[in-house]
Amino acid sequence: MHAARPAYDKLVFELSSPGRFAYSLPESDVPDSDPTTLLPKEHLRASPAELPEVSEVDVIRHYSRLSQMNYGVDTHFYPLGSCTMKYNPKINEDMARLQGFARLHPLAPEAASQGAFQLMHELARDLAEISGMDEVSLQPAAGAQGELAGVLMIRAYHLARGERRHKVLIPDSAHGTNPASTALAGFSVVELKSEANGDVDLVDLERHLDEDVAAFMITQPNTLGLFESRIHQITEMCHAKGVQVYMDGANFNAILGITRPGDLGFDVCHFNLHKTFTTPHGGGGPGSGPVGIKAHLAPFLPTPVVVKRDDTYGLDWSRPQSIGKLQAFWGNFGMLVRAYTYIRTMGPDGLRSVAENAVLNANYILKRLEGDYDRSAPGPCMHECVLSARRQKKLGVTAMDIAKRLLDLGFYAPSTYFPLIVEEALMIEPTETESKETLDQFCDAMIQIAREAETDATVIHQAPLTTPVRRLDQTLAARQPVLRWRQSP
Ligand SMILES: *Cc1c(COP(=O)(O)O)cnc(C)c1O
């Protein structure tokens, strides 16, 4: 006998009871007509649609329950490394819902869209100021698309100078989108070795820099959460060989208001508005990954470019060397409103304090946990710390086990097994929006797990025990996904 499955475990289809419905309409005062006489035969169904038949209260309870199962920054601490899961201020939502923004039609005449254009123009200007870049395109819908736009502009730049360069250098510590977007742009990716702390191996870099290299793409601070201190030397080495330098700006939260990619010698960098600039992340909404460039790449910016002529804003489409259009209309405009709101509410000092507190919080966690977990590198970190569960692994407890156990203790798991160059990596990014109390609770949970691993790991291997869905067979879910609901026989 199986115990009855709890209601939260059921699909809305399984709650269905024939003849039940969620509405009541007054009796119709016009004659019924038969749809089969009104619609062409080929558009008629052979059998009725399989729709759940449920009452209004069934619908409300079902979706309210589902919403309560959702884990997010509005309910819990979310230390997912490299993702900057910071709190999204609600004023952003208020601004994005203003009728003039939310209901503006993207095909409205320019004269009727001046406010939206002004916002985009000023946001691009602010991002350029924050990054030390000359111009910014707001079109890309994610960091990955910002990367694609960036390398396409780099390709166009070299071609315009009569140079065909085929390779892009990327360190082995890179995020997977870096080689993916580079390959999509038609380049061959050459992987560079990193030093143990994630720094660029300068000897390996020098060896690879030649006339066939179009760009070097690196993350600063790097994916181990450390600032690459020889960055000036690196950008100069690249420029000496005509190589463009791309900064993956996913870790911008560490350097906001403190240093700028443009000043470090980068030619291109992208921003992840859904990370650094508090627009919703992941399932919460579409992303936005603006890309900033130095002036020599401006002719190749995606079209249209938002421009200001005298006191009027408009869209410039007449850019013969442009890489073209990347997104429908103007990109994910609602995200631009949210990021703009954030930047304007924080101001320059506020943005700098973001970076300072993000770095402080990460170092606090690092200090509290360094006795119980191995560190991936010595010294202080930037906005995130990467630990290794290699000590625990010797006791039979992996980074994955630790991540699962954290769910039982009320925390989202850190990033695991990234960066690839750290064995049993646990990448923890607290962000600046968490209090010391929350950081302490998280560290207490991590230390408790380290103790359990040493004494009795049974509960770790069973975890999670308190979540609606228990430990999943991750391979099966990827190999044989169940994408359709079927009535059980
Ligand atoms: C998140 C991230 C990306 C990709 O950004 P998306 O907006 O998810 O496409 C690239 N590099 C690093 C280091 C990241 O953390």
Q: What is the pLDDT of residues 20-31, one digit of tens each?
A: 998 888 998 998
Q: Judge if the beta carbon of residue 220 lies within 6 A of ligand 1.
A: no
Pocket test for ligand 1, best of 80, 82, 145, 288 (most atoms within 8 A of CB): 82
Residue 249 has pLDDT above 80, yes or no: yes
Maximum separation of any 2 CA atoms in the chain, in Å: 84
Those residues whose C-beta lies under 8 Å from the C-beta of residue 61, and which sit 6 or more positions away, are: 7
Task: Please tell me if the CB atom of residue 144 comes closer than 6 angstroms to any atom of ligand 1.
Answer: yes
pLDDT of the residue at 150 = 98
Amino acid making up residue 345: T
Q: Do 209 and 238 contact (CB within 8 A), yes or no? A: yes
Q: What pLDDT does 1 receive?
A: 40
Residue of the nearest CA to atom 7 in ligand 1?
A: 143
Q: For residues 417 and 399, is the Cβ–Cβ distance under 8 A?
A: yes
**Is 487 a residue whose pLDDT tops 90?**
no
pTM (global) more than 0.75 = yes
Report the range of poorest mean pLDDT among 105-119, 385-399, 459-473: 459-473
Rounded CA gap, 39 and 423, in Å?
A: 63
Query: Closest ligand 1 atom to the C-alpha of 82?
Result: 15
Using the mean position of ligand 1's atoms as its centre, give its distance from the Cα of residue 232 in Å. 23
The reported pLDDT for the residue numbered 489 is 44
Report pLDDT for 300: 98
Q: Which of 27-31, 157-161, 205-209, 269-273 has the lowest mean pLDDT?
A: 27-31
Alpha-carbon distance of 325 to 149, in angstroms, equals 10
| Protein residue with its CA nearest to atom 11 in ligand 1 | 175
Residues 6+ apart with CB under 8 A from 224: 173, 197, 198, 376, 377, 381, 386, 419, 421, 422
- Residue 95 bridge partners (DSSP): none
Residue type, 408: D
Mean pLDDT (whole number) for 455-476? 91
Nearest atom in ligand 1 to the alpha carbon of residue 272 is 7
In short, whether 334's Cβ falls inside 6 Å of ligand 1 is: no
Q: Give the chain's radius of gyration (CA, Å).
A: 26
Closest protein CA for atom 14 of ligand 1: 250
pLDDT-derived band at 3, boundaries 50, 70, 90 = low
Task: Judge if the beta carbon of residue 177 lies within 6 A of ligand 1.
Answer: yes
Ligand 1 neighbour 167 (Cβ under 6 A): no
Q: What pLDDT, in 10s, does the model give residues 52-105?
A: 999 999 999 999 988 888 888 999 999 999 999 999 999 999 999 999 999 999
Q: Which of 45-49, 93-97, 432-436, 442-446 has the lowest mean pLDDT?
A: 45-49
Our mutation pick for probing the ligand 1 site, out of 272, 276, 335, counting the most ligand atoms within 8 A of Cβ, is: 272
> N- to C-terminal Cα distance for the chain?
17
Is 478 exposed, middle or buried (CB count within 10 Å of its CB: 0-12, 13-18, 19+)?
Answer: exposed
Cis-peptide, bond into residue 179, ω within 30° of zero: no
> Which has the minimum average pLDDT: 320-334, 407-421, 470-484?
470-484
pLDDT above 90: residue 158: yes
Q: Is 237 in the pocket of ligand 1 (CB under 6 A)?
A: no
Ligand 1 atom closest to residue 146's alpha carbon, by position in its atom list: 9
Q: What is the pLDDT of residue 67?
A: 86
Q: What is the tens place of the pLDDT at every residue in 379-425?
A: 999 999 999 999 999 999 999 999 999 999 999 999 999 999 999 99
In the predicted model, what is the mean pLDDT of residues 462-473? 89
383 lines ligand 1 (CB under 6 A): no
Alpha carbon of 368 to ligand 1 centroid (Å) = 28
Beta 167-171 vs 213-219: how paired, if at all? parallel
CA 223 to ligand 1: nearest atom: 13
Q: What is the DSSP letter of 414?
A: P
Is 175 close to ligand 1, i.e. is its CB under 6 Å away? Answer: yes
Using the mean position of ligand 1's atoms as its centre, give its distance from the Cα of residue 264 in Å.
20
DSSP-assigned letters across all residues of 341-395: HHHHHHHHHHHHHHHHHHHHHHHHHHHHHTTTSEESSSS--SS-EEEE-HHHHTT
Task: Quickly state the pLDDT bin for 136 (edges 50, 70, 90).
Answer: very high
Q: For residue range 332-381, list pLDDT tens digits in order.
A: 999 999 999 999 999 999 999 999 999 999 999 999 999 999 999 999 99
Q: Which two tokens stand for residue 27?
A: 């009796």
- CB of 248 closer than 6 A to ligand 1? yes
Q: How is 73-92 classified by DSSP, letter by letter?
A: TTTS---BTTS------HHH
Partners of 217 in beta bridges = 246
- The average pLDDT across 39-58 equals 92
Cis peptide before 79 (omega within 30 of 0): no
Question: 61 CA distance to ligand 1 centroid (A)?
Answer: 36
Round to whole Å and give the CA distance between 225 and 362.
9
Banded pLDDT at 180 (limits 50, 70, 90)? very high
CA distance 144 to 172: 17
**448 three-class SS:** helix
**How far, CA to CA in Å, does 375 sit from each of 317, 334, 380, 428?**
51, 40, 10, 12
Ligand 1, residue 274: give the atom nearest the CA: 7
- Check residues 291 and 421 and name the one with the higher pLDDT: 291
Please give the pLDDT value at position 485: 63
> Facing residues of 295 across strands?
none
pLDDT at 244 exceeding the cut of 80 = yes
Strand segments (E) across 142-234 = 167-171, 188-192, 213-219
Is the shortest distance between the CB of 272 and ligand 1 below 6 Å?
Answer: yes
pLDDT of residue 409: 96
Q: Choose among 422, 416, 432, 424: nearest CA to 363.
A: 432
Please work out whether the CB of residue 143 comes within 6 Å of at least one atom of ligand 1: yes
Give the position of tokens 């609602």.
Answer: 334
Q: For residues 316 and 310, what is the distance between their CA atoms, to the nearest angstrom?
A: 14
Residue type, 278: T
Q: What are the tokens at 130?
A: 């924050």
Q: 223: Cβ below 6 Å to ligand 1?
A: yes
Query: What are residue 192's DSSP bridge partners?
Result: 171
